[in-house]
Structure 1
Amino acid sequence: MGKALSQNSLAGSSQGIKMKKELGLIDGVAIIVGIIIGAGIFVSPKGVLRYSGSIGQAIIVWILSGLLSMIGALCYAELGTMIPKSGGDYAYISEAFGPLPAFLYLWVALFILVPTGNAITAITFAQYILQPLWPACDPPYEAVRLIAAVTTCFLTVINCYNVKWVTRVQDVFTATKIFALLLIVAAGIYYLSTGHTQHLQNPMEGTQTEPGYIALAFYSGLFSYSGWNYLNYVTEELKDPYRNLPRAICISMPLVTIIYVITNVAYFVVLSRAEILESQAVAVTFGDKMLGTFSFLMPFFVACSTFGSLNGAIFASSRLFFVGARQGHLPQAIALIDIKRLTPVPSLIFMCIITLALVVIEDVYVLINYVSFVEALFIMISVTGLLWMRRSRPNAERPIKVNIALPVIFFIICAFLVTFPCYVSLLEVGIASVFVLCGIPVFYVTIGWKSKPIWLQRCFDNFNKSCAKLFVCVPEETID
């Protein structure tokens, strides 16, 4: 994309105005690792421990969350190479079950999954970057939200301007965040080697056995792994996707799982169960205890981690809304591309606006349960689509074909995660379910209603034209 118009005239081009394949294998790995390792590993340890009840079970949840994510990633590798379209779950659900279920995914992704996840990441970034200024207490609410909003806008501008800038930012901050986690691991190993094993004694004490609470513990764990399917959103921009998509997944997921498990062991070695549950920023509490005068490094590195994660999430998820608009499930203005830089500017700005509306939210852990329920539901639907297409389209080209046991296992576990939290987290699950169902009448009014009044259709057309003029954008097309 950065080369857009290096052939500065689109006239006569056989490719015309469309997003280009500029992402290689290293970029793909950086996107996956960069998105996954973000706010989650610095927020979720407290939630996993709270619902697990014991250190031992919390570690088990982290390991199984990584394993489940790897199984899901392998299933998505089959889906991504069978259906090499940007849009991820939206494209797969659309191919398997048609427009209504695909629209419902787009509906919840637009208003719940993407902006809420981005808001949590932006808030976490702001909390950690401001923490050194308020070492004895939490930073002021207003300051955190202001920094979160400014950061979201800044990264949106970068994504609008140049994709090469996005990937460079992603590569740099991916390396930074891995260094931050390695610092935690090294400090934990040192602390353990000096004989501090008291926090690891009786690791299963207090273990929670209720299925609903176990599912909520997995919600917090899986939230930290969120993003393993984001590379599927940008398949059309990936060089040689049949080869590079599965390779990027197979490199990224084991790396992230190992880092996460060892990082949590380091947390549990240094901090007691009570210290973790009382902490508002686990990594900062860890740094204060282990790094002494260099404790300021921890909030800085965590801020770098979440900054890179937010950058990657903005890049990948904007393509989801771009594809949805291109299919007619969102206003056509969102499917426009900047004529000079070939980036989906209206999609990026639209998502930024919704994210800014959500940064005012305070209770991060309720949000995590809320988002994770919806995400588990639609990932389950996507994998159900994989199983369905094995039967309905048996002869479709599948450059990667996983053993049937993997999607079956994944479906069963997702069904558990969707079902059992209902009686222990009724409010969040109920609100999410109602919001999903509200998408059905919206679909039939905005898309299913083919004979709209002329005045209403003109309003839509005028809105699309105004956006095209304002952002100097045009629809993606091929010019003969």
Structure 2
Amino acid sequence: MQEHSAFKPSLRLIDATMLVAGSMIGSGIFIVSADITRNTGSAGWLMAVWLITGFMTLTAALSYGELSAMYPKAGGQYVYLKEAYNPLISFLYGWSFFTVIHTATIAAVGVAFAKFTAYLWPQFSEDHIILDLNFLQISAAQLLSILIIILLTFINTRGVNSGKLIQTTFTLAKLLSLLGLIVFGFYAIKSDVWQTNWTNVDIWNLQKLSPDGSVESYTTLAAFGAIAAAMVGSIFSSDSWHTVTFIAGEIKNPQKNIGLSLALGTIIVTVIYLLTNVMYTGVLSLQEIASADKDRVAVTASHVIFGNAGTTIIAIMIMVSTFGCNNGLILAGARVYYSMAKDGLFFRQVGQLNKNSVPGFALWIQCIVACIWSLSGRYGDLLDMISFVVVVFYMLTIAGIFILRTKRPDAPRPYKAVGYPVLPVLYILMGLAFCLLLIIYKPTYTWPGLIITLTGIPIYFLIRKNRNTGEKLPETFEKQI
């Protein structure tokens, strides 16, 4: 591998904004409203869950703007955690990011692409088993997912401009198609459905709604747990907005454009998510949303809007959405491992740039792990379990703003967190409440992800021991240890 020493700043504000929006919008908005409706049982609380998630996402994005302006270099959140805390905390983030958070997300989005491809070409169905090894069944959907991941990885090894072209093109396409779905959906709104969902019932009656239409009331404490459980889906659908911070070294005028792209991208997606869910409640009853086949709410809604052509339209939309989403995830994630390698905490080759000035080896390592998750069949469960850890690291990063303002008060801050200190504190409190409620009411969503993260502690000290007894660590890393 021919090594180049620096990234090439070639991404404009529009490219960075499309990376934020494109990485957020995958398949979640087409699916997770079914589970949210089952947990909340009312149109008002369905929208409230998306509003709370949108507020938290935007608040976090505005807070990250300050950190991105202070440290406009590859690695993003990994770098912020290292600067605010210590290498161990940042390594635990990088470790969980590599082992499951990011790579399993790539796998899940890839398989979602394959599943909806099967609507058009049934031979790619997840029920079409290509190879049965007893302990492992490999479906056509999994193989297609792997092929897509490999293809996008290869394209991104050819240089950031190749990935940029795909990202901007596909994100604009899915934003326009989602807006089209919303417009046609509002045109097809049924007055009786809208009246039932929004006026004939108590829209703030929080209750458990079963697919058969039966309801169950919550106790006061259980109601909070239901909201937290419902937010797992909306947080997953709104995640990956921070991927743009990973490629700071390749963005023109990063001190300005990263923060601006975070704000613009998260606002665009939040508005689209809210409008999409309003549209759902205008064409489908709450029971129809809650009982959608395999939770595919958008498919059910599209049948009402477009008739028999609805399935094809949604399948194409989700294929475009997931393809563009995975491109953004693959493009940005490798930069985190690159930064870890530069700190002596990953394979040395991962910290090298190829002749196209991108971390090619890091991209292929990421590809391998994501392909393994595609074969596992357990990526969906792990993504739910890791939501707890994702929010914990968001809280730690935002708390890092307060730490760095104390530790380095004179450091240049071209951009400062909007609403500081109120909004960052509010996010931390909301994130803490979310995590505590998951621990109490959904422990299966917390402990596995936490255990995966904590396994990084002995690995960190093993790497540190080997580096200390072997070659010398980078000077900056030695000082931080």
Assess same fold via TM > 0.5: yes
- 2:69 aligns to what? 81
Q: Could you say if the C-alpha distance between residues 206 and 416 of structure 1 is closer, same or farther in structure 2, counting changes exceeding 3 Å?
A: closer
**Post-superposition offset of 1:194:** 5.5
- 1:46 aligns to what? 34
Does residue 360 of the first structure (1) align with residue 375 of the second (2)? Answer: yes
Query: More displaced, 405-414 or 355-364?
Result: 355-364
| Aligned counterpart in structure 1 of residue 99 of structure 2, from 111, 125, 141 | 111
Letter of the 1:33 partner, please give it: A
- 1:401 aligns to what? 416
Q: Is the 8 A contact 1:116 1:371 kept in 2?
A: no
**Post-superposition offset of 1:134:** 4.6
Q: Could you say if the C-alpha distance between residues 451 and 404 of structure 1 is closer, same or farther in structure 2, counting changes exceeding 3 Å?
A: closer
| Aligned counterpart in structure 2 of residue 58 of structure 1, from 46, 63, 66 | 46
**Post-superposition offset of 1:79:** 0.7
- Counterpart CA distance in 2 for 1:337 and 1:379 is 28
Letter of the 2:95 partner, please give it: W
- Counterpart CA distance in 2 for 1:17 and 1:83 is 18
Deviation by residue 1:194-217 (Cα, 9 ceiling, x = unmatched) = 654234342334436522221122
| Aligned counterpart in structure 2 of residue 300 of structure 1, from 295, 299, 316 | 316
Q: Is the 8 A contact 1:219 1:372 kept in 2?
A: yes
- 2:427 aligns to what? 410
- 1:13 aligns to what? none
- Counterpart CA distance in 1 for 2:89 and 2:83 is 10
Matched position secondary structure for 1:395? coil
Does residue 183 of the first structure (1) align with residue 198 of the second (2)? Answer: no
Q: CA RMSD in A?
A: 2.2
**Post-superposition offset of 1:264:** 0.9
Pairing of 1:279-298 with structure 2 (within 5 A) = 279-280=293-294, 281-295=296-310, 296-298=312-314
Q: Could you say if the C-alpha distance between residues 298 and 77 of structure 1 is closer, same or farther in structure 2, counting changes exceeding 3 Å?
A: same
Pairing of 1:329-478 with structure 2 (within 5 A) = 329-339=345-355, 341-362=356-377, 366-402=381-417, 403-450=420-467, 452=469
Pairing of 1:123-202 with structure 2 (within 5 A) = 123-134=111-122, 140=128, 142-192=139-189, 196-197=193-194, 198-200=196-198, 201-202=200-201
Tell me, which stretches of 5 or more residues in structure 2 are unaligned? 130-138, 208-217, 472-481
Tell me, which stretches of 5 or more residues in structure 1 are unaligned? 11-15, 458-480
TM-score, length of structure 1 as denominator length: 0.86
**Post-superposition offset of 1:365:** 5.4
**Post-superposition offset of 1:392:** 1.5
Matched position secondary structure for 1:192? coil
Matched position secondary structure for 1:338? coil
Query: More displaced, 305-314 or 273-282?
Result: 273-282
- 2:477 aligns to what? none
**Post-superposition offset of 1:293:** 4.0
- Counterpart CA distance in 2 for 1:359 and 1:51 is 28
Letter of the 2:89 partner, please give it: P
**Post-superposition offset of 1:379:** 0.9
**Post-superposition offset of 1:370:** 1.2
Letter of the 1:311 partner, please give it: N
- Counterpart CA distance in 1 for 2:334 and 2:47 is 34
Matched position secondary structure for 1:204? coil
- 2:9 aligns to what? 21
Q: Is the 8 A contact 1:21 1:237 kept in 2?
A: yes
Q: Is the 8 A contact 2:65 2:260 kept in 1?
A: no
Deviation by residue 1:10-64 (Cα, 9 ceiling, x = unmatched) = 9xxxxx6311100111111111111111122123222322333322211111012
**Post-superposition offset of 1:224:** 1.2
Matched position secondary structure for 2:188? helix
Letter of the 2:327 partner, please give it: N
Q: Is the 8 A contact 2:155 2:163 kept in 1?
A: yes
- 1:269 aligns to what? 282
Q: Could you say if the C-alpha distance between residues 419 and 384 of structure 1 is closer, same or farther in structure 2, counting changes exceeding 3 Å?
A: same
Q: Is the 8 A contact 2:190 2:283 kept in 1?
A: no
- Counterpart CA distance in 1 for 2:353 and 2:378 is 36
**Post-superposition offset of 1:188:** 2.1
Q: Is the 8 A contact 2:382 2:449 kept in 1?
A: no
Matched position secondary structure for 1:239? coil
Q: Could you say if the C-alpha distance between residues 138 and 286 of structure 1 is closer, same or farther in structure 2, counting changes exceeding 3 Å?
A: farther
Q: Is the 8 A contact 2:354 2:360 kept in 1?
A: yes
Q: Is the 8 A contact 1:213 1:421 kept in 2?
A: no
Matched residues, number: 439
Query: More displaced, 190-199 or 321-330?
Result: 190-199
Letter of the 1:439 partner, please give it: G
- Counterpart CA distance in 2 for 1:74 and 1:451 is 38
Deviation by residue 1:112-145 (Cα, 9 ceiling, x = unmatched) = 110111111111111111123459x975461211
- Counterpart CA distance in 2 for 1:144 and 1:204 is 40
Percent of aligned pairs with the same amino acid: 28
- 1:248 aligns to what? 261
Q: Is the 8 A contact 1:47 1:365 kept in 2?
A: no
Letter of the 2:440 partner, please give it: Y
Does residue 224 of the first structure (1) align with residue 241 of the second (2)? Answer: no
Q: Is the 8 A contact 1:180 1:302 kept in 2?
A: no
**Post-superposition offset of 1:255:** 1.3
Deviation by residue 1:68-115 (Cα, 9 ceiling, x = unmatched) = 111000100001001222211110010011111111111100111101
Letter of the 1:155 partner, please give it: L
- Counterpart CA distance in 2 for 1:367 and 1:269 is 33
Does residue 214 of the first structure (1) align with residue 202 of the second (2)? Answer: no
**Post-superposition offset of 1:180:** 2.3
**Post-superposition offset of 1:183:** 2.5
Query: More displaced, 208-217 or 305-314?
Result: 208-217
Q: Is the 8 A contact 2:387 2:445 kept in 1?
A: no
- Counterpart CA distance in 2 for 1:292 and 1:150 is 32
